[in-house]
Structure 1
Amino acid sequence: MRRQFTLPEEDIEHLDARGLSWETVNEGGQLWLLLHDFPIPNGYNHANASVAISIPAQYPIEQLDMMWVYPELSRTDGQLIGALSPQLIDQKNYQRWSRHRTAEFPWRPGVDSIITHLSLVEDWLEREFQKVGKI
């Protein structure tokens, strides 16, 4: 696994404790955390996928935002997923999920991290079925 830049030790410990296969990639100054074989909830066309998280230069002060998934996810019930667009990351066509923090739940420097962002990623995947329909 590539380690082209370093994450804070707390993030590394969390990723390793979860047993996730991960790497850090620098694509021309754009930093990515790639999480491979990330578990995807029931109701999608894949049980596991790679999830990419863009790591800003000022992280952990600057917030993490959105997620990117490869291969593309779709719902097995045929309902469409909104706010998606393609993006090339690490020479693969990832699916960008445009999901963001809200004014009610802003980024909190010193509190939020990859750990809390992964909770959001899991929540976004689960909530997709609450917004548009049920499994």
Structure 2
Amino acid sequence: MEMRRSFDLGAEDEEFLTTYERPWETIIDGSHWVLIHDFTVPKGYNHEKVTAAIRIEAGYPNAQLDMVYFYPPLKRIDGQPIGCSDAQQQLDGKIYQRWSRHRTAANPWKIGFDNLGTHIFLIEEWLEREFEKCPAR
């Protein structure tokens, strides 16, 4: 499958995605999006790999990146609910699951430091931390 590049990311973000070693695309579907395919999900979810979609906000990199969208939708295999993940987003002909996760005053977006790579690391942390909020049975 050929990876679409509907818009250019900055050199720092493209370099990160190259070293991240997962197929990725940039698309425009109402907003600008980065799709990361074969995104590895920790054990405990119903899928081992998904596509993670990140909306590139107007004004980025000075404007923060926020949330993540997964296709196919994730569920915990222990049946515990995943908070703030019920909303859906039509994107690229599929229905993505929105994980409403945000930075806090204790972990604000730092202009000149934070970027797509730090946001992806935060997404990985959200996936792991889900089991700390409500441990698997």
Q: TM-score, normalised by structure 1?
A: 0.96
Quote how far apart the aligned CAs of 1:134 are.
2.6
Quote how far apart the aligned CAs of 1:26 are.
0.8
Inter-partner Cα distance in structure 2 for 1:131 and 1:44: 15
Q: Runs of at least 4 residues of structure 1 off by over 6 A?
A: none
Inter-partner Cα distance in structure 1 for 2:20 and 2:89: 27
| Paired position in structure 1 for 2:45 | 44
Matched letter for residue 14 of structure 1: F
| Paired position in structure 1 for 2:122 | 120
- Residue segments in structure 2 that go unaligned for 5+ positions in a row: none
Matched letter for residue 19 of structure 1: E
Q: What is the correspondence of 1:9-88 to structure 2 with a 5 Å cutoff?
A: 9-28=11-30, 30-84=31-85, 85-88=87-90
Q: Which secondary structure state, in structure 1, belongs to the residue aligned with residue 53 of structure 2?
A: strand
| Paired position in structure 1 for 2:93 | 91
Quote how far apart the aligned CAs of 1:3 are.
0.5
Give the aligned length: 134
Inter-partner Cα distance in structure 1 for 2:20 and 2:32: 22
| Paired position in structure 1 for 2:113 | 111
Of all paired residues, the percent bearing the same amino acid is 52
Inter-partner Cα distance in structure 2 for 1:69 and 1:19: 18
Q: TM-score, normalised by structure 2?
A: 0.95
Matched letter for residue 60 of structure 1: P
For 1:85-133, what per-residue CA distance to the aligned partner results, in whole angstroms no more than 9, with x for missing partners?
A: 1111111000000000001111011100001001110000000000012
